Structure 1
Amino acid sequence: MRNWRAITVGCVLSLMVVVPAMAEEIGQVSTTFKFLGANDKIVIEAFDDPDISGATCYVSRAKTGGVKGAIGVAEDTSDASISCRQTGPITLPESVASGKDDGKEVFKKSASLLFKKVQVVRFFDKKRSTLVYLTYSDRIIEGSPKNSLSTIVLPQAIQGKGATALGN
């Protein structure tokens, strides 16, 4: 019994560590009127990079309406856009500055009932001292080449451990 509790607590804690950032809905607009169910929409969400305080991204993505959309079984299109900005002092963790975290998933949102996800991954271009965020969608069998990119340029002094970038 004691071992099961330890395993359960360990699993919950490990999930908390690897879960990407949660988004806050900023707003939405309707794009297509539906007689039954919700309208098709573009949803705007914001999330803070979970590893880099002071870095915030805004993602706009399509959300399918209709009856299927209202009950949560519609598949959203792969259309998404991203814009990232420095919203406070940025401290670059060593794992990011060294490139060890390149391609790290920092955001994920379901785009269908089971298999399709909209994701944001982060890279660090050390030569240009720039954080690069890429959004795209994928499915288990077939993904989409549609993508969007945003960057946050950091002062050159950010190259080291624990360095902080003040307002841009």
Structure 2
Amino acid sequence: MKRLMLLPLAACTLLSACSRAEEIGSVNTNWRLTGSDRVVIEAYDDPLVEGVTCYVSRARTGGIKGAVGLAEDPNEASIACRQVGELRFREPLRQQQEVFTERMSVIFKALHVVRTVDARRNTLVYLTYSDRIISGSAQNAVTAVPVPRSTVIPVAK
């Protein structure tokens, strides 16, 4: 069962539809001689909804382990998704779908962003959370992008 949680991460790595983070800023939070801990701001463009970008802020562990990718980043993350252009749907959306995955440790922890369609309110809702192979975290954040009433969100049946 725990191995199944790695499948979305592996699929995201193999598929070109999965977005990559674009780091757009950061601040140092804990200075270290070998590399500071930081809070980074990353932008993710929704791969199926042109015109929506999600901004995720999260802690990154510095030091030697952080520099070589062996550190485990904290669970905390914040998200704000916004309409940044004309909305275009590349294909019908699933009711709920993982759209971004980013590792937070070598293999044990990942940050996820899931899109849910709120058809009644014509809104795209984005949730961010982290999980581990052994245990997840209840820490999460949510944001929403309202879609104009004149544009119907196409939902796959």
TM-score range, shorter chain: 0.7 to 0.9
1:53 alignment partner, SS class = strand
In structure 2, relative to structure 1, the CA distance for the partners of 1:160 and 1:87 (3 Å cut) is closer
The counterpart of 2:145, out of the listed 152, 159, 163, is 152
The answer to whether the 8 A contact 2:50-2:90 is kept is: no
Percent identity among equivalent residues? 49
Q: TM-score normalised to the size of structure 1? A: 0.79
Q: CA RMSD in A?
A: 2.1
Look up the match of 1:52: 49
- In 1, the alpha carbon distance for the partners of 2:55 and 2:15 equals 22
The answer to whether the 8 A contact 1:94-1:160 is kept is: no
Aligned length: 144
Which is helix-richer, 1 or 2?
Answer: 1
- In 2, the alpha carbon distance for the partners of 1:109 and 1:159 equals 30
- In 2, the alpha carbon distance for the partners of 1:72 and 1:107 equals 19
The counterpart of 1:38, out of the listed 35, 52, 63, is 35
Matched, 1:128 2:121: yes
> Which runs of no fewer than 5 residues in structure 2 stay unpaired?
1-12
Matched, 1:78 2:91: no
Look up the match of 2:86: 89
Q: TM-score normalised to the size of structure 2? A: 0.84
The answer to whether the 8 A contact 1:109-1:119 is kept is: yes
The answer to whether the 8 A contact 1:92-1:158 is kept is: no
Which is strand-richer, 1 or 2?
Answer: 2
Matched, 1:140 2:133: yes
Q: Which amino acid aligns with 2:106?
A: L
Runs of 4+ that moved beyond 3 A: none
- In 1, the alpha carbon distance for the partners of 2:153 and 2:25 equals 37
2:150 alignment partner, SS class = helix
> Which runs of no fewer than 5 residues in structure 1 stay unpaired?
1-13, 162-168
1:158 alignment partner, SS class = coil
Look up the match of 2:14: 15
